Every structure is written in C-alpha cells, then in structure tokens.
Chains A and B, each alone.
Chain A
Amino acid sequence: MILYLLRRVLYAIPIALAVGFVCFMLVQIAPGDPINAIVPPDAPADVVEQVKKDYGLDKPLPAQFGLWLYKVVQGDLGRSLATGRPVWSDLSTAIGNTLMLAFCASTLGFLLGCILGGLAGTFRGSVLDRGAVGLAVAGVSVPHYWLGMVMVVIFSVQLNWLPAMGAGPGGSSDWAWDWDHVKHLVLPMVTLSVIPMGIVTRTVRGLVAEIMNQEFITALRGKGMTRGAIFLHVVKNAAPNALAVMGLQLGYLMGGSILVETVFSWPGTGLLLNSAIFQRDLPVLQGTILVLAMFFVALNLIVDLMQTALDPRIKRA
C-alpha cells in the first residue's frame, strides 16, 4: 500500500505540469498576439518590443513555457492589465472567499444528501424514496445560476429576509463569523449546495441499498442485532465511497461557483474571473484558472489517498 501511495503522489506531478501547460496555452490560443496579454493594445511600438524581450516572448514556445513555469513556481502570476496590481494579490483574498463558500455548500449538500440518500436506500420503493430521487434529479438538473436568481426573488425581493449581494455589510470583503456576515452567506451557500445534494443522494442511496442486500446484514439481523447497531455497520461500509464523492464535489464547486458568485456578487474567484473575461484581462484569467485547477489536482490526490487509507479492502499494489 505504501508503494501505491508513493506512486499516486508521483503520478500527480506530471498531471500538475500538464495542467500548467494547458493554462499556459490559454494565452497562446487567445486571438491576437500573446503580447496583448501583458501590455495594453495602445502601447507604443518600442515599449512593446522592450516588454517582448523582458518576458522572453521572442524565444520559442517551449522556452517561453519554461520561463513562465519558473515564475509561477515562485508565485509570480504576472500583473493584471486592468489594475496593474500583481494577479496574486487579488487572487489570494478571492480564493479564500471561494474556498469558504464551496466548503460550506458542499458540507451542507453532503449532510442533506446523506440523510435523503440513507432514507431512500433503506426504504427503497416507498414514497419517501421517490421523493428523495426526484429531489436528487432536480438538484443535478437545475441551472444553479437561475436557482440563485429565484432565491433572490423570493428571500430578498419578496420577503426581504436576506441580503441579495456581497459578502458583508456595506460591500466590505473582510469576513467575520457574525450574523451580519453569515446572512450574506446563506443564499449562495444553499444555492450551491443543491448539486452535491443531488449527487450525494444518488450515491448514498445506491450504496445503502447494495449493502443492505448483502449477506452479512442478513446474518447480523439473524443474530438479533438492533437496528441501530446494523445502521453503524452500513455507515462504516458506505463511508469511504461517500467521502470520496464529497471530496470531488468540493473541487467541482470551486470551479462551478463562478456562475453563482456572479449572481450574488460574492467576492470570490468567480467574480474575479467574470470581470477578467469582461475586460479581457488575460493574466488574471490565466492565474485564476491555474490556481483553481491546481486545487482540484491536489484534492483528487487527497481523496484517492484518503480512500485507500480508510478502506482496508482496497489493496492496490
């Protein structure tokens, strides 16, 4: 197993490099000269030439990638075209906000999904089961950006209970765990949680139904074990797979929250990406995508390692 863990960690390195290469290529596939990603289009010709030399853009592509990678590893993601500030300075606060939103949403979705899926799997074929399955399908089919708008219409416009925008009073982006801030979190969190809710419900329902059909459960029943004790056995068997799904969902939400953050003006990476797209600010676009994708690669690795550690049945050479 140690060998497997080591191999899995080593395998993540070429993947991370390749992901970096895809992000590097984003600027190359953009229409126009890649130099447009560094200097504004109205810069004088001699400045453009100088910058080209400074950034090594006169060198062949592999050399450029090497240079870019060298800078990225040192934490230099370039400068924003729109603000002139280093990309990392805006990104570092945004990524914290996105992580918090994604974490809260996937936790909520995971809890709801476990309850719904557990009930549905235990009482298979009942009204409860059909309701849970219906909710799960709705959860994965709903355009979450639209659900966010409907939430705003109901809870902000009609009922006036919760704020529709931002992450704190007065548009501040400094987070604190008090009601003034938390009430800004409620709507985006609930909106974003429906996707993991749907997927976890489906997974847990399948897992529970499969485990309940196995012979050892019948044996435990025959032995006279109480329902509660059998429940613990089911949880123990379902946990590794369910946790793996949850971990990946956290990663998907970090990418998927782009649209929901736009709806709620949540000051995270989604909003940053949105304004970068709008202003064609390629360094910000590239840097944000790179950091989010790297988080996803790391998360995939952690989930795999945790699953192997948690489930003694997985013995990978």
Chain B
Amino acid sequence: MSTATTPSAAEAELAVQARQAQAKSDGYWAGVWKRVRRDPVTILCASILLLMLLAIVFAPLLAPHDPYQGSMIRRLRAIGTPNYPLGTDELGRDILTRLLYGGRLSWFMGITPVVFAFIIGTTLGVTAGYVGGKVNMAIMRVTDVFYAFPSVLLAVAISGALGAGIFNAILALTLVFIPQIIRVAESVTQGVRSLDFVDAARASGASGFTIVRVHVLGNVLGPIFVYATSLISVCMIIASGLSFLGLGTKPPEPEWGLMLNTLRTAIYVQPWVAVLPGACIFVTSICFNLLADGLRQAMDVKG
C-alpha cells in the first residue's frame, strides 16, 4: 500500500476501499449471474431447456391427443398431416403428444440419478477427502473397482441383471455416477483441507464436523455441482439408451428412447418421423452440456 502523506490522499484511499467493499458485498453469486448474463450461448441453452421443461410440465394442456390412444387406420402418417402436425407412430398415436408426455420420463430419468449420485457421492467423497487414512483408502479402492467399467457397460450390466423397469434403471445409473462424483469430491476436498483457514479453525478448537460444514462444504460444493451438471447430459443419453435396448421404461409408456426403439422398424416407411424422438434427446443433451460449460466458466471452476 502506498504511504498516505496528505489528508486528501488518505481520503481517496478510503473511498477506493469503500467502493471495493461495496463491489464485494454484491456477493459471489451476483458475480456469477453477471457473467452468465453476458454469455449468449448459455442464456440460449437455458431458455431452450426452460421452454422444454414448461412444455413437458404442461403436457396435458398442450397435447392435442391422448398419448395412449392409437388407431389402426391412421398408422405412420407423415409430418404435416392435418391434426397430426408431427405424424403418427406405428400404432397410430400422435407423435407430438407422445413427445410432450415422453419428455417427462426422459427428463426424470436423466436428472434423478445425477441428484442421488450427487448427494451420496459428495457425502462419501468429502468424507474420504477430509478424514483421509484408512477411510479414504476403503472408499477410494471401491470407487476404483466401479471405475474399471465403462459407464454404458456398467449401466447395461446392472439393469440387465435386475430386469427392465424405471426403478432398476435409475438404480443402475445412480451406481454408475456415484464413483465419478466421489473422485471429484475427494480431490477438491483434499485441496481445501490443506488450506490455512482450515488449520486456523482446527487450532481454534472447532470439531471436525463443524469444519466440514462451515469451511469445507462451502468451498467444494460449487465445483462438484458444476461437474454433476455436466453429467446430466450423459445420464440422459444412457437412460434413453437403456430404454432403447428394452431396459428401463416399458411400453406403452411414452419415453423418447423407447419411442425411438419402437419406431426403428418404421425408418423405411416414415424415416423423418422415426428419428424425431432422438432429435429431442440430442437437443436436451447438448443444451445441458453447454449450460454446464457456461456455469463452469462463470463460476471459474478449473478442470
């Protein structure tokens, strides 16, 4: 700091400090929001996702037909058929209606496993990273084993053994993502643990639980959260992939992956109708991916 020789210089110094304090009091999240607002790609993706979310939440109001009611006389109509703007499927059900309703299950199965894995993985990873020693050893070696499977293979293996069903698919996907989150949580926790303020808290007599709750979690949740957001895109692709394989959702439930599977035989009759559900998965997944990238940059998370 420069030495203040005259009273006016000291006043100027104080004013600068006050302004800096003002800027700081806006808080971390205000800064993040400011950076997100300046990033058109992130805003665009967030808007598309918000629109999709609204569309699937209000599917009963928006959908022109019943998602289960088909008709043998109007099977596999083309895109642009009057009354059926996106055509009909192999059982004569309206594609637009089923896409709207199908988004509910696809989104649910794309997000739920990541939420569960985030909760469980963070708990285990932070424990392993903070406690260290034998606890770390036990948790991380088990993680290594699950890491030794490619994620699609592990998901197919577990839900293949358990059998088809939404619950089994969510269980399998949660198990796939827990080790990945544990690894990230453990490494960021280890980074924070060695910082001075944690030592200071320990020296002042804070218990381990308090240190984790007050000093560690606040610093590690951000990076773990950003990593978890980037997993939603992968999770959605694998979840729909499980349904596509006949695991996961069962017919006649509308779900994008399952719709893609049942429409597969129709690619010679109505090719462009048959690929519509996959386009929905693609758009959702790419938006979540870009959103996660934008968040990472705005929150200044490395890696």
Contact = CB atoms under 8 A, between A and B. Distances in A.
B153 A137 contact: no
A26 B163 CA distance: 11
Contacts of B152: 252, 255-256, 258-259
B246 A278 contact: yes
Interface residues of A, number: 50
- The secondary-structure label for the interface of chain A is helix
A258 B153 CA distance: 8
Given A138-B286, A158-B271, A292 B148 contact: no
A314 interface: no
A262 interface: yes
B160 A277 contact: yes
Contact of A15 (B148, B282, B286): B148
A108 interface: no
A280 B285 contact: no
Contact of A145 (B148, B161, B241, B293): B241
Contacts of B95: none
A141 B233 contact: yes
A193 B11 CA distance: 64
A13 B145 CA distance: 11
Given A143-B241, A293-B153, A149 B246 contact: no
Interface stretch (A27-35, A88-96, A178-186): A27-35
Interface string A107-148: 000000000000000000000000000000110111111110
A251 interface: yes
A289 interface: yes
B260 A145 contact: yes
A149 B257 CA distance: 12
A276 to B, nearest CB: 7
Given A26-B158, A29-B161, A255-B150, A262 B245 contact: yes
B241 A29 contact: no
A22 interface: yes
Interface string A262-286: 1100000000011011101010011
A179 B16 CA distance: 74
B281 A149 contact: no
A149 B148 contact: no
Contacts of A263: 264
A197 interface: no
Interface in B195-235: 233
A131 B61 CA distance: 39
Contact of B245 (A19, A140, A158, A274): A274
B267 interface: yes
B145 A277 contact: no
Interface centre among A141, A157, A280 (most CB of B within 10 A): A141
A30 B260 contact: no
A59 B288 CA distance: 49
Interface of A: 15, 18-19, 22-23, 26-27, 29-31, 137-138, 140-147, 149-150, 152-153, 157-158, 251-252, 254-256, 258-259, 262-263, 273-274, 276-278, 280, 282, 285-286, 289, 292-293, 296-297, 300
Given A141-B285, A143-B257, 11 more contacts: A29-B162, A30-B163, A140-B289, A143-B240, A143-B285, A153-B267, A153-B274, A254-B150, A256-B152, A277-B246, A293-B150
The 7 closest A-B pairs by CB, nearest first: A146-B278, A255-B150, A255-B153, A141-B286, A153-B271, A18-B145, A26-B161
